Amino acid sequence: MMKFLRQVWESFRFAWGALKTNVTRTILSLLGVTVGIFAIVAVFTIVDSLEKSIRDSLSFIGDKVIYVQKWPWGFGGEYQWWKYFQWPEPNYSEYKYLYDNLESASAVAVMDFRGNTMLKNGSNSINALIQGVSFEYNLISDIPVQNGRYFIPLETNNARNVAIVGADIAESLFPGQDPVGKPFKLSGHKFTIIGVREKKGESLVDFGGSPDKICLIPFASFSKLFQSGRRNADIVVKGFPDDVGMKEVEAEIVGLMRTKRGIKPRDGNNFSLNRPEAAAVAISGLFAVLTVAGWVIGSFSILVGGFGIANIMFVSVKERTNLIGIQKSLGAKNYSILFQFLFEAVMLSLVGGLVGIFLVYLLSFLKLGSLEILLLPRNVLLGLGVSSIIGVLSGIVPAMLAARMDPVIAIRAK
């Protein structure tokens, strides 16, 4: 066993020496593999980064959440807007009915919003999205309050004019100050800031608007201010963690909504149950297409690189034919000769792969708008694995030809 390992090590040394001897040829040979690995790993890295950015944007919507709404979220296929147009909007009384009767839900909330609303503090102003929510909303959606606090039941039930603002709103209305406890004007009405959310920063996709520019107020205050919330609103239901697939709470919502609206047994539902998972599935399908495109683009470059390595290996075998004959006449085994050239091909391919991965690593330092490029360990391993496979496939035939040479004929070769 030790003899075998020693011969393998010697083969490795021969291979490394051959690569160092022909530096220019080595560099030219690995360019194809470098471009191919760079293309594959770069596409996978960008896809992973895009997916993470979008999923992070979806996280504030909530996990195990169902939105009871008029319009279904459309992700492909025919969108029958003419049918949905006739459906009634969910309202506050339906929210109260679900809140009082749902047994398979951990939380039920109601929400409504009004976009592009001016907030003022003296000469400072900012346009923001106003979102009216009930007290339980923080049990459904992540609302990290960095400074101050969340609403208390007394404020949401009694329509108090209090607000939790995003970081951009706080910075615009009260630059360089602590905004908690300070008043501002919303549609001519005085509101007091009780909390400031953690700054999220720019995101590739912000579903429903950036949290940094959202102003949360009690739902009752929203209804009084805009005279719309009690007529139309979105109902949000959060299931229990052990409700696999949300089947239990979804079935109960359907039954209660049909009862509340008096829908006949033979008639279909006139409301939509939307779930963030549907958006995640649609996004996964899109990224699957991008991943396939990355493989196709990279495969052409790797194919060219593989042929280049194979060509160089055939040239190396021809150049070292005499040396092969001498080694075999001195007792070198066939597998030792095979390993020399196979290791050379694999090392050549691996070096090309490492250079490609290093270029992707340099790419991660660039700022592509709000997108943060993350080179994950699995993509590094993928690049190294593909490089190794290309090296083996490119070098196996030349290595086998070298290993099977007759030592006498090889020594006589010129």
DSSP line for 39-53: HHHHHHHHHHHHHHH
Q: State residue 229's pLDDT score.
A: 46
Task: Look at residue 267 and give its three-state secondary structure.
Answer: coil
Main-chain dihedrals φ then ψ at residue 245, nearest 5 degrees: 75, 0
- Asked if residue 70 lies in contact with residue 274, where contact means CB atoms within 8 angstroms, the answer is no
- Asked if residue 273 lies in contact with residue 68, where contact means CB atoms within 8 angstroms, the answer is yes
Separation between Cα atoms, residue 50 and residue 64, nearest integer Å:
23
Mean pLDDT for the chain overall: 82
Q: Is the pLDDT of residue 247 over 80?
A: yes
- Residue found under tokens 């010129």: 414
- pLDDT, tens digit (0-9, with 9 covering 90-100), for 280-315: 666 667 777 777 877 787 777 778 778 878 887 887
Q: Can you tell me the mean pLDDT for 238-248?
A: 79
- Asked if residue 402 lies in contact with residue 337, where contact means CB atoms within 8 angstroms, the answer is yes
Share of the chain above pLDDT 70, in %: 82
Q: Is the pLDDT of residue 78 over 80?
A: no
For residue 217, list its beta bridge partners: 132
Share of the chain above pLDDT 90, in %: 25
Calculated CA dihedral for residues 173, 178, 179, 180, nearest 10 degrees: 170
| Nearest C-alpha neighbor of 117 from the set 184, 197, 179 | 184
- Asked if residue 322 lies in contact with residue 408, where contact means CB atoms within 8 angstroms, the answer is no
Q: State residue 178's pLDDT score.
A: 92
- pLDDT, tens digit (0-9, with 9 covering 90-100), for 328-345: 777 777 777 787 778 778
Q: State residue 151's pLDDT score.
A: 95
- pLDDT, tens digit (0-9, with 9 covering 90-100), for 177-204: 999 999 999 988 999 999 999 987 765 5
Domain boundaries, the chain: 1-57+282-412, 88-270
- Asked if residue 159 lies in contact with residue 229, where contact means CB atoms within 8 angstroms, the answer is no
